[in-house]
Amino acid sequence: MLFEYNILWNYSPYIFTSDFISIRFYSLFFALGLFFVYYRTNKNLSNYIDSKTIEAIVFPSIIFMLFFSRVFHCIFYEFAYYSNNIIEILLPIRLTPLSFTGYQGLSSHGGFIGFVLSYLIISNKKLKFKYSLKFLDAIFYYSLVFISLVRIGNLFNSEILGKACNEGLCIIFPLYDSIPRYPVQLYESISYLSIFFLLSLIRDRIQILPGRLMLIVISMVSISRFFLEFLKEAQSDINLFYFNMGQALTIPILIISLLLLIILHGKKIKNLS
């Protein structure tokens, strides 16, 4: 319901719930996002890479991504709790009281690192280098839709909350508290979709050499994430100077992606001269 500039977000996070198992909207959006990435990558690269090869890379990478995403979250965001409940890191349950929860708490930075490590291990045996770059470009480009959907899932979960808001559009999450907050989940979701559509226009007009699109996506997402973190409530007790944990994990990824872009651009100029 709308009240002045505040929206009361009182939607249930569950699609289905019972005494033992619950299915959340977050899980639905997560699964839809992964399917979209796989389907579009498979279709986009059908002239270069066969479906079996793509599946042989994507499915193990998803497992790595989920594992590292979970471990990163438990270490960097909720270490105090999970250090005393280690079994809950790997199993989708809560021991007290015993219940099936799914994997609540996934770090996007951990997922990114998990995917990259998995890809480096698997791809050398599956793909030639020139096709490897095309594959990475497609995966990261279509992943913009995936991470956008994940943020909508976070909205339904009333998590990754914004700081207190007293102007413009604010959202109240009664499952958490009664304070109007910046709808930072929507900001992130919209920013990632905007990058997706912007790059789709650029791809239709400008030839982007293999490998560049991946680095552009990583850089733009990192910049967007870094600045939007200023509107978020702290999710960890660990900070790096004036930066929160999300920003601290984003900075090295941004620096590396920008350096690689600069190096590749320099090589292109050198080859043209």
Return the pLDDT at 85.
81
Return the pLDDT at 273.
42
- Centre a 10 Å sphere on the Cβ of residue 147 and count the other Cβ atoms it contains: 22
- Across 25-155, the runs of DSSP E, i.e. the strands, are 93-94, 99-100
β 170-172/180-181 pair status: antiparallel
Region 74-80 average pLDDT: 89
- Residue 41 CA to chain centroid, in angstroms? 17
Single out the residue of 173, 196, 58, 25 nearest to residue 126, CA to CA. 58
Question: Computed from CA positions of residues 238, 241, 242, 243, in that sequence, does the dihedral angle turn out positive or negative?
Answer: negative
Q: How many helices (H) and strands (E) does the chain have?
A: 9, 8
Q: pLDDT tens-digit profile of 130-171? A: 789 999 999 999 999 999 999 999 999 999 999 999 887 899
Of 84-93, 148-157, 168-177, which gets the smallest average pLDDT? 84-93
Return the pLDDT at 272.
44
Contact 232, 245 (CB under 8 A): no
Q: pLDDT tens-digit profile of 231-262? A: 999 888 777 778 999 999 999 999 999 999 99
What is the pLDDT of the chain when averaged over all its residues?
89
- pTM for the full predicted model: 0.91
In the block, tokens 């793909």 appear at 127
Specify whether the backbone of 18 is left (phi greater than 0), alpha (psi in -120 to 50) or beta. Answer: beta
Region 62-88 average pLDDT: 89
Region 85-104 average pLDDT: 73
Q: pLDDT tens-digit profile of 198-218? A: 999 998 788 888 899 999 999
In the block, tokens 């998990």 appear at 114
Q: Six-digit token pair at 205?
A: 């007009």
Whether the predicted pLDDT of 112 surpasses 50: yes
Region 109-135 average pLDDT: 88
